[in-house]
Structure 1
Amino acid sequence: MKLLLTSSGISNTSIHDALVDLLGKPVTESSALFIPTAMYPFPRHAAMAWQAFCGKAKTPLCELGWKSLGVLELTALPSIDKNDWVPMVEETDALLVWGGDPLYLSQWMRQSGLTDLLPLLRRESVYVGVSAGSMAVSTTFGEAYSNPPSGSRNVLTSENIVFATPKGGMSRILATAQGAGMVDFALIPHLDHEDHPDASLANAEQWAAKIPVPVYAIDDQTAIKVIDGNIEVVSEGHWRLFTSHCTRT
């Protein structure tokens, strides 16, 4: 399976071209399944899932002109016979995995059986992640919370960390967690975005130091393209790779 890991969807021409290259054909000739699951833990964010379905979200993804577009809701899959949904995943050209809470998403990826299925998909299939959807495919990833979600079974460590903001310090709980294991690096999205002060360059460096794998911090105009383990950064913005604190086994 090929991967296109983005911070904010198909946000520019370079990332769109990378998507077409991975698909091996135009988007208009490709099928896709949209996974909105990561968005649901946040208050009233089901409305944002509707916006994405309808192509009204700020994150360009569903509205790209897919030949066909379906919805795969991970929380429903354990109650459905695998014969009713696995073939649909196996046959689609692209899985579009939206943003939200990466802990919640990675938990449901495992609980639904999707994590086990991903490595078995045909090589031509493309995983397109947005924000949390990109973070959750890592072997190990980190996320900062004011109040970490309770009951997450995949949390490895958690500790208090103070991030700098224009108005002073911001205390967060940084949770490191086990992801789907599709890539051996972690990702911090929304680098230097005004709505994500915890992802400033200085904070991202502090954040990355707590994660025991290489970490890419990427802005909303950047994506990571992965084919057979080979990594290519596609960017019309800026990004940073942190490796000095990682350990390999």
Structure 2
Amino acid sequence: MCDLGWKSLGLLELTALPSIDEGRWAPWIREADVFLVDGGDAAYLCHWMRQSGLAALLPSLPEAVWVGVSAGSMVMTPRIGKDFVNWKSAAGNDSTLGIVDFSIFPHLENRHMPENNLSSAQRWATDIGNPAYAIDDQSAIKVVEGVTQVVSEGIWKYFP
């Protein structure tokens, strides 16, 4: 990431933020142009985004770009679906931030994740209760001013 020619690059550890005065880290968040959020566990990520205060700051950053990878994208959706709940939140459900109005089934047809196939995605979409996309690792979902567009060199499917 450092070789992309960015003016600066910072790392934010969400689990540490609750122990640091918000006045110390929030200005850096407000000045950031892009947030690159990697994968992992979307429920855990959502929990710490809320606990840290980052989730509350996001609506005040309309010009910032969010680049999510796997769980980093899923956390922006209303729900991830029970298939993707690994870490149990205190609420005990699969709800996430709901910044976008659709859910994401990631890594479609990934050879290292044979369970992430189209039939599993269709079953997942039936239970999710809102519009959803299943996307492979060569696809992305772009949302600008409420307009959603799939950018892909791979395979994807929309479930209305």
Q: TM-score range by the shorter chain?
A: over 0.9
Higher strand fraction (1 or 2): 1
Task: Using the TM superposition, give the Cα deviation of residue 227 of structure 1 relative to its aligned residue in structure 2, in angstroms.
Answer: 0.9
Within 2, Cα distance between the matches of 1:231 and 1:209? 21
User: CA-to-partner distance for each residue in 1:77-135, whole Å, 9 max, x for gaps?
Assistant: 000010101110010110111000111101111111111110111x3210110000000
Task: Using the TM superposition, give the Cα deviation of residue 210 of structure 1 relative to its aligned residue in structure 2, in angstroms.
Answer: 1.3
Note the aligned Cα RMSD (angstroms): 1.6
Partner of 1:155: 92
User: CA-to-partner distance for each residue in 1:62-90, whole Å, 9 max, x for gaps?
Assistant: 65332211000100000001010111001
Q: What is the identity, as a one-letter code, of the residue corresponding to 2:130?
A: V
Residue pair 1:107, 1:154 contacting (<8 A) in 2 also: no
Larger Rg, first or second structure (1 or 2) = 1
Within 2, Cα distance between the matches of 1:227 and 1:87? 24
Report the TM-score, using the length of structure 1 for normalisation.
0.61
Within 2, Cα distance between the matches of 1:195 and 1:64? 28
In the alignment of these two chains, the number of paired residues is 160
Establish whether residue 131 from structure 1 lines up as the match of residue 70 from structure 2. yes
Q: What is the identity, as a one-letter code, of the residue corresponding to 1:132?
A: A
Which stretch shows the higher mean deviation, 91-100 or 193-202?
193-202
Residue pair 1:191, 1:218 contacting (<8 A) in 2 also: yes
Within 2, Cα distance between the matches of 1:76 and 1:221? 33
Within 2, Cα distance between the matches of 1:225 and 1:148? 26
Show the 5 A alignment for 1:36-115: 63-115=3-55
Q: Secondary structure at the match of 1:144?
A: helix
Q: Secondary structure at the match of 1:209?
A: helix
Q: Secondary structure at the match of 1:70?
A: coil
Q: What is the identity, as a one-letter code, of the residue corresponding to 1:142?
A: G
Q: Which has the higher contact order (CA 8 A, sep 6+)?
A: 1
Task: Using the TM superposition, give the Cα deviation of residue 143 of structure 1 relative to its aligned residue in structure 2, in angstroms.
Answer: 4.9
Residues 143, 222 of structure 1: alpha-carbon distance in 2 compared, 3 angstrom cutoff: farther
Establish whether residue 211 from structure 1 lines up as the match of residue 122 from structure 2. no
Q: For structure 2, which runs of at least 5 residues remain unmatched after alignment?
A: none
Within 1, Cα distance between the matches of 2:119 and 2:74? 19
Report the TM-score, using the length of structure 2 for normalisation.
0.93
Residue pair 1:97, 1:129 contacting (<8 A) in 2 also: yes
Q: For structure 1, which runs of at least 5 residues remain unmatched after alignment?
A: 1-54, 56-61, 157-176, 244-249
